[in-house]
Structure 1
């Protein structure tokens, strides 16, 4: 049993194995049996730890382990040796570091200002869920109450009523309700039926195919989101029926007063490096680093580079292990710890005056369910040695007074697979839909697994100035109701998995946002 598969087994049950704990398991005479024993014991615990330390493993295995010796136990043989698999990245990143700001005339103005990063909301250190039914009930109750408050601010729904009151009203009366979508289906005649519920009752909303624009709205309704419905009441056999006249999403206000930095500083927005993959485009990334250091570009480009005070890396720092079928065939580094070591070496060449904000993605060594805590120091110690702020996914941030939502974007997979008209080549379209729905992952039970926390961290109850995502590997930008909507693209080439999905990545494109003017400029390094 190789180390990477062991780490993945723990990640699959929302647990993070530290390097020390892995070494304790390796020291066991029968490593596979030890792993199974620890996994079984942990899953049976009433309170399940997230980070699995050497002490926890030793406690479970009792006296069955030996003191780990790093060099005493050889790793399983493979067709490609560890030295061969890491040579390209480690040689270039470690033995050929970029010189210190070699352009003597380059004086970055961002270096004159103190970094001002505030973490406004983040699940890291606040995850208390035990994964029981009551936790899921609490999560959806919290979601409903938060979304109801937002919807009640819409003029069209200020006089909405609980569904439990519908049975007391007369036939054909116009009603307004707010409900969570428990199901959506199509009748044999092509009409759409939407099952809604709130804490007081249920109703079925009917949208007829002939209604044109309204029918298009109905096609964009997804399960588990909270919407408002206006329509004509009809008596039902068991539950009330509503013939719909309008569907209302929480949405953003048409106007939003932007927060602006007082200093002339910028944020560069990146994501999806996938260090450890054969397709990681290190040369392109080092071009980006050289630009930040003032080594490349014309006068205007270098002036812009000098104003970069922050970099936000929206997930998938490394390629990870066992994330998609046959991934191992495209890995240059098949050890998750070494992937992070090399990533830290490469990111360490970014100028020290720039603060790097890092959140995890679905390829990183964190639990798969969202919200995800920050990448642990036990897994990626080198990242913590840099000028970094490590946050969870999603994270609500303030950079120099400008409010960001940074989210990797795993829920795009569910949204694109459900809503007509969305695709991976236009990444900002699903982002706008999430803003309209005021939720980062509205669909439960899809590819974006949700952790039943005490609060729904995915509700967009505060309006951001900037909404930054990654995940789809395609760069995109738009403005929606005064919010900058930015997908940062990637620094990974086209993998076989992307070919299967029909994705044409746009590597080496970096959006740079002026935090004072809110203008965005995309710098191309490809």
Structure 2
């Protein structure tokens, strides 16, 4: 049977009763004929050996086939200092703690770890492979939008109906037509999509809410405690308000305002064994500033015993730098052709241990449509990146690994949130704070018509229907993490040094960090490979 991927190599070894070191699998996978290389290695392995070592494989390849450059899997000690300290989360957060150990400290280095135990089968020790990731919310193959007016009506109606269900149990709401017919002074509630927000001459806030029946004005007085929430509102998000009607019944004076929210009672799922996932994004292969050496230090570390519990690698978009993404980008490219960029990315991906389960979504620099939700890479690009048998899905998608639900979203709408909200509530320096607002709104891109391109579909794939356990984004090239109502939010930075374009827009990237999540506890360790 042809052995086209590292996963197939692991499976074949297991069927013959052998375990293998991660580096051994990677070396075999990178040969021109993995099947033949494996046969040669097994023909010469000592009879009493149950584990195929990297040293043995390398000796076999040296004698019959040129081996890959061993420097790509060296330097196992390449982990380093702590990331920059994360400021205190927003006061609106129910659980403001950042990921911590049992003694309350924030881990920034691993505790040494131990090798993942092997399972035993009838034919001897067998290597354990990760459970296959389950994917939900993927637009790939389901896109129906044509750009006609009816598509926009459909997607916004779907958004309203699904998000309003998360609010109707909390307020005794009525449709706008019923509220319009109520006498003045009555108490009532509305659930609606924000049509407009503007200040009055007196400094109060007028919020127009729209449901499937019409539009109704709601007034938030400037001296009300909830007035501070108005600057968090984005057009097209769905909220609920409660209050009393004016004397003529034409305006609702708002006493309370509610978001769809993550329930404060949320208790995240965890794995039933000690297993870890590495969360990275924004690799940007093809850029002159791509940090290839740092990436190789990361992949070399993945081959060490310390990294043995890491069985999953989740990449949240921008595998390559792309072409024509921003003005004069060609002047900052090391590789001009987009397909050559993916070929190079595939070579770097081969450095990752063969027994890792890899899940990838696209980003705005990748060769897919820009409008969100983004479908996964097409068959031609999948073929280029097939060496690792990675799971390739759309942006956004919810990936379930070891029972833990990870919402993966590249993060373009974070630009929108940061631009619209006050700096103390959302900023590029603290990207996780902007992520909290997406969780609060239960939508990864609530505002239409701004920085974020959105595609109208029959269903709004950007609604956060189910509460994730982990929320993983990238895009802004900044490291940030924290917990919002027990959801672990992580923006994982990038693998690209500052470009001239980034300098022009004041982006100072956090690069070469690898957040490692313990799936059994949801504790977080940040590895630094600079």
Structure-1-length-normalised TM-score: 0.76
The equivalent residue for 1:48 is: none
The equivalent residue for 1:247 is: 257
The equivalent residue for 2:206 is: 193
Change (3 A) 1:101 1:495: closer
Alignment of structure 1 residues 328-367 onto 2, 5 Å: 328-367=330-369
2:286 maps to 1:276: yes
Query: Alpha-carbon deviation of 1:214?
Result: 1.6
Once the two structures are superposed, what CA deviation does each residue of 1:204-254 show, in whole Å capped at 9, x if it has no partner?
Answer: 11122233x322111111100000011221266xx9311111111010110
2:279 maps to 1:266: no
Residue 232 (structure 1) aligned to one of 244, 261, 267: 244
Query: Alpha-carbon deviation of 1:310?
Result: 0.4
The equivalent residue for 2:35 is: none
Contact 2:74 2:297 in 1 (8 A): no
Contact 1:425 1:503 in 2 (8 A): no
Contact 2:72 2:296 in 1 (8 A): no
Alignment of structure 1 residues 23-422 onto 2, 5 Å: 96=69, 98=71, 109=117, 112-154=128-170, 157=171, 159-211=172-224, 213-234=225-246, 240-294=250-304, 302-303=305-306, 305-421=307-423, 422=426
Once the two structures are superposed, what CA deviation does each residue of 1:103-144 show, in whole Å capped at 9, x if it has no partner?
Answer: 8xx965485244321112200111111111101100000000
The equivalent residue for 2:464 is: 460
Alignment of structure 1 residues 6-21 onto 2, 5 Å: none
Contact 1:148 1:178 in 2 (8 A): yes
Once the two structures are superposed, what CA deviation does each residue of 1:394-421 show, in whole Å capped at 9, x if it has no partner?
Answer: 0011011111100000001111111112
| Structure 2 CA distance for aligned equivalents of residues 495 and 215 of structure 1 | 40
SS of 2:385 mapped into structure 1: helix
The equivalent residue for 2:24 is: none
Change (3 A) 1:386 1:467: same
Once the two structures are superposed, what CA deviation does each residue of 1:486-507 show, in whole Å capped at 9, x if it has no partner?
Answer: 1111111112222233222111
Once the two structures are superposed, what CA deviation does each residue of 1:356-378 show, in whole Å capped at 9, x if it has no partner?
Answer: 11100000000000000111231
The equivalent residue for 1:54 is: none
| Structure 2 CA distance for aligned equivalents of residues 99 and 274 of structure 1 | 19
Once the two structures are superposed, what CA deviation does each residue of 1:11-62 show, in whole Å capped at 9, x if it has no partner?
Answer: xxxxxxxxxxxxxxxxxxxxxxxxxxxxxxxxxxxxxxxxxxxxxxxxxxxx
2:440 maps to 1:440: no
The equivalent residue for 1:494 is: 498
Change (3 A) 1:191 1:100: closer
| Structure 1 CA distance for aligned equivalents of residues 147 and 68 of structure 2 | 46
SS of 2:388 mapped into structure 1: coil
Contact 2:130 2:357 in 1 (8 A): no
| Structure 2 CA distance for aligned equivalents of residues 180 and 307 of structure 1 | 45
| Structure 2 CA distance for aligned equivalents of residues 114 and 98 of structure 1 | 27
Q: Which moved more, 1:345-354 or 1:213-222?
A: 213-222
SS of 1:216 mapped into structure 2: helix
| Structure 1 CA distance for aligned equivalents of residues 177 and 451 of structure 2 | 33
Contact 1:120 1:395 in 2 (8 A): yes
- What CA RMSD, in Å, does the superposition of the two structures yield over aligned residues? 1.9
Structure number with greater CO (CA < 8 Å, separation at least 6) is: 2
SS of 1:313 mapped into structure 2: strand
Contact 1:510 1:523 in 2 (8 A): yes
Change (3 A) 1:309 1:101: farther
Give 4+ residue runs of structure 1 displaced > 3 Å after superposition: 94-103, 106-111
| Structure 1 CA distance for aligned equivalents of residues 347 and 247 of structure 2 | 67
| Structure 1 CA distance for aligned equivalents of residues 448 and 504 of structure 2 | 25
User: Any unmatched runs of 5+ in structure 1?
Assistant: 1-93, 295-301
| Structure 1 CA distance for aligned equivalents of residues 141 and 341 of structure 2 | 24
**Of Structure 1 and Structure 2, which has the larger fraction of its residues in helix?**
1
Contact 2:75 2:300 in 1 (8 A): no
| Structure 2 CA distance for aligned equivalents of residues 271 and 95 of structure 1 | 26
Change (3 A) 1:102 1:109: farther
Contact 1:374 1:392 in 2 (8 A): yes
Query: Alpha-carbon deviation of 1:385?
Result: 2.8
| Structure 2 CA distance for aligned equivalents of residues 99 and 282 of structure 1 | 10
User: Any unmatched runs of 5+ in structure 2?
Assistant: 1-66, 77-113, 119-126
Number of residue pairs matched by the alignment: 417
Contact 1:425 1:504 in 2 (8 A): no
Query: Alpha-carbon deviation of 1:512?
Result: 0.4
| Structure 1 CA distance for aligned equivalents of residues 117 and 165 of structure 2 | 43
